[in-house]
Amino acid sequence: MKKIVVLALVCLMNFALFFTPQKIFTIKEEPVRILAFGDIMLGRYVRVLMERNDDLYYPFKKTFGNKEWIGQFDLITANLEGPITERYITGGLSLTFGFPPDTAQILSNLGFDAVSLANNHTNNRGDAGYEETKKFLSEAGVGYYGHYKDVDLSPVYYKKVKGKKIAFIGLNDTFGKLDVDKALALIEREKPGVDYIIVFPHWGHEYQGVHDKRQEELAKKFIDAGADTVLGHHPHVVQDVGEYNGKKIFYSLGNYVFDQYFRQDVQEGLAIGITIENDEFKYEIYPMKSEASQPRFTPEPH
Q: Establish if 15 belongs to a structural domain.
A: no
- Percentage with pLDDT > 90 across the chain: 85
* Residue 263 counted as domain residue: yes
Enumerate the H helices of the chain as residue ranges: 2-19, 44-52, 67-70, 102-110, 126-140, 180-190, 213-225
Average pLDDT over residues 98-124: 97
**The domain spanning residue 256 has which CATH number?**
3.60.21.10
Sheet strands (E) in the chain? 32-40, 75-80, 114-116, 143-145, 157-161, 164-172, 196-202, 229-231, 241-244, 247-250, 255-257, 268-277, 280-291, 294-297
In degrees and rounded to multiples of 5, residue 105 shows phi and psi of -70, -35
pLDDT above 70 for 282? yes
Q: What's the rounded Cα separation, in Å, for the pair 94 and 10?
A: 89
Lowest mean pLDDT: which of 4-13, 143-152, 210-219?
A: 4-13
Give the pLDDT band (50/70/90) at residue 89: low
On whether the CB atoms of residues 228 and 10 are closer than 8 A, the answer is no
Q: Indicate the SS3 state at residue 234.
A: coil
Percent residues over pLDDT 70 in the chain = 89
Residue 89 lies in a domain: yes
Task: Say how many residues make up the chain.
Answer: 302
For the chain, state the CA radius of gyration: 24
How confident is the model at residue 5, as a pLDDT?
42
Decide if 181 is inside a domain: yes
164 within domain boundaries: yes
Question: What are all long-range contacts of 260-263, with beta carbons under 8 Å and residues at least 24 apart?
Answer: 260/236, 263/207, 263/237
Considering the domain boundaries, does residue 251 fall inside one?
yes
Please tell me the predicted confidence (pLDDT) of residue 170: 99
Residue 53 CB coordination number (10 Å): 14
Q: How many domains, in total, are found in the chain? A: 1
Peptide bond into 101 cis (omega under 30): no
Burial class (CB in 10 A: 0-12, 13-18, 19+), 211: buried
* Cβ count within 10 A of residue 46: 21
Residue whose C-alpha is closest to residue 145's, from 166, 175, 163: 166
Close Cβ partners of 254 (under 8 Å, ≥ 6 residues apart): 38, 39, 235, 236, 237, 238, 239, 265, 266, 268, 269, 270
Say if CB 99 and CB 88 are below 8 A apart: yes
pLDDT band at 209 (very low <50, low <70, confident <90, very high): very high
CA distances from 188 to 1, 225, 226, 248, 249 (A): 72, 5, 6, 18, 18
Specify the pLDDT at position 302: 67
For 145-156, write each residue's pLDDT tens digit.
Answer: 999 999 999 999
Tell me if 13 is assigned to some domain. Answer: no
The residue range of the domain holding 82 is 34-291
Residue 78, domain member (yes or no): yes
* Residue 271: predicted pLDDT: 99
Q: Which residues contact 26 (CB under 8 A, 6 or more apart)?
A: none
